[in-house]
Structure 1
Amino acid sequence: MSRIKLVLTITLLSFCAVQAQEEDKKAQREAEKALRESKNITYEANENLTQNDFINAEADYRRAISKSPENIAAPYNLGRAYYNRESYSEAFGKFKQAGEKASSKSEKHKAYHNMGNVFMNNKEYEKAVEAYKEALRANPTDEETRYNLALAKEMLKKQQDEQKNDQNKDDKNDKDKKEEENKDENKEGDNKEDQEGDQKDDKNKDEGDDGDKGEKKPEENKEGDGDEKKEQKQKPNQGDKPEQKKKPRPNQLSKQQVQNLLEAMQNEEKKVQEKIDAKKVRGAKIKNEKDW
Structure 2
Amino acid sequence: MKSLQNLVFIIVMAASALANAQQDSLKLQREARALLREGNKLYNKQQFSDAAIAYRKALGKNSKYEKASYNYGNTLYQDKKYKEAVEQFKVTTETSKDKMAQAEAYHNIGNAMMEQKQYEQAVEAFKNSLRRNPNDDETRYNLAVAQKEAKKQQQNQKDNKDKNKNQKDQQKQNEEDKKNDQNKDKKGDDKDKKDDQQDQKNDDQKNQQKPNQDQKDKQNQQPKPQQGKMTPEQMKQLLESLNNEENKTQKKMNTEKSKGRKVKQEKDW
Q: Same fold (TM over 0.5)?
A: yes
Q: Distance in 2 between matches of 1:133 and 1:22?
A: 50
Partner of 2:44: 50
In the alignment, is residue 223 of structure 1 matched against residue 220 of structure 2? yes
User: Is 2:48–2:79's contact at 8 Å kept on the other side of the alignment?
Assistant: no
Segments of 5+ residues of structure 2 without an aligned counterpart are: 241-269
Q: Which has the larger radius of gyration?
A: 2
In the alignment, is residue 85 of structure 1 matched against residue 79 of structure 2? yes
Q: Distance in 2 between matches of 1:53 and 1:175?
A: 54
Deviation at 1:166, TM superposition (A): 0.9
Segments of 5+ residues of structure 1 without an aligned counterpart are: 1-7, 245-292
Q: Distance in 1 between matches of 2:167 and 2:50?
A: 55
Q: Which amino acid aligns with 1:193?
A: K
Deviation at 1:219, TM superposition (A): 8.1
Q: Taking structure 1 as reference, are residues 220 and 43 closer, same or farther at Cα in structure 2, changes over 3 Å only?
A: same
> Pick from 139, 142, 156: which aligns with 1:145?
139
Greater Cα shift, 209-218 or 170-179 = 209-218
Q: Number of aligned pairs?
A: 228
> Pick from 35, 53, 60: which aligns with 2:29?
35
Q: Distance in 1 between matches of 2:163 and 2:239?
A: 109
Partner of 1:242: 238
SS at match of 1:141: coil
Residues 14-163 of structure 1 aligned to structure 2 (within 5 Å) = 31=25, 34-163=28-157
Residues 134-283 of structure 1 aligned to structure 2 (within 5 Å) = 134-210=128-204, 211-212=206-207, 213-216=210-213, 220=217, 223=220, 227-230=223-226, 234-235=229-230, 242=238
Q: Distance in 1 between matches of 2:49 and 2:163?
A: 48
Deviation at 1:33, TM superposition (A): 5.3
Deviation at 1:101, TM superposition (A): 2.0
Deviation at 1:23, TM superposition (A): 8.6
Deviation at 1:147, TM superposition (A): 1.6
SS at match of 2:157: helix
User: Is 2:52–2:76's contact at 8 Å kept on the other side of the alignment?
Assistant: no
User: Is 2:49–2:79's contact at 8 Å kept on the other side of the alignment?
Assistant: no
Q: Taking structure 1 as reference, are residues 70 and 221 closer, same or farther at Cα in structure 2, changes over 3 Å only?
A: closer
Q: Distance in 1 between matches of 2:45 and 2:141?
A: 32
User: Is 1:112–1:132's contact at 8 Å kept on the other side of the alignment?
Assistant: yes
Deviations 1:174-233 (A, max 9, x none): 1111111111111112222222222233333333333153242798378358x4452x75
User: Is 2:110–2:123's contact at 8 Å kept on the other side of the alignment?
Assistant: yes
User: Is 1:65–1:75's contact at 8 Å kept on the other side of the alignment?
Assistant: yes
Q: Which amino acid aligns with 1:164?
A: K
Q: Distance in 2 between matches of 1:178 and 1:88?
A: 41
Deviation at 1:123, TM superposition (A): 0.7
**Identity over aligned residues, as a percent?**
34
User: Is 2:89–2:106's contact at 8 Å kept on the other side of the alignment?
Assistant: yes
User: Is 1:35–1:70's contact at 8 Å kept on the other side of the alignment?
Assistant: no
Q: Distance in 1 between matches of 2:47 and 2:184?
A: 77
Q: Taking structure 1 as reference, are residues 144 and 22 closer, same or farther at Cα in structure 2, changes over 3 Å only?
A: farther
User: Is 1:41–1:60's contact at 8 Å kept on the other side of the alignment?
Assistant: yes
Q: Which amino acid aligns with 2:135?
A: T
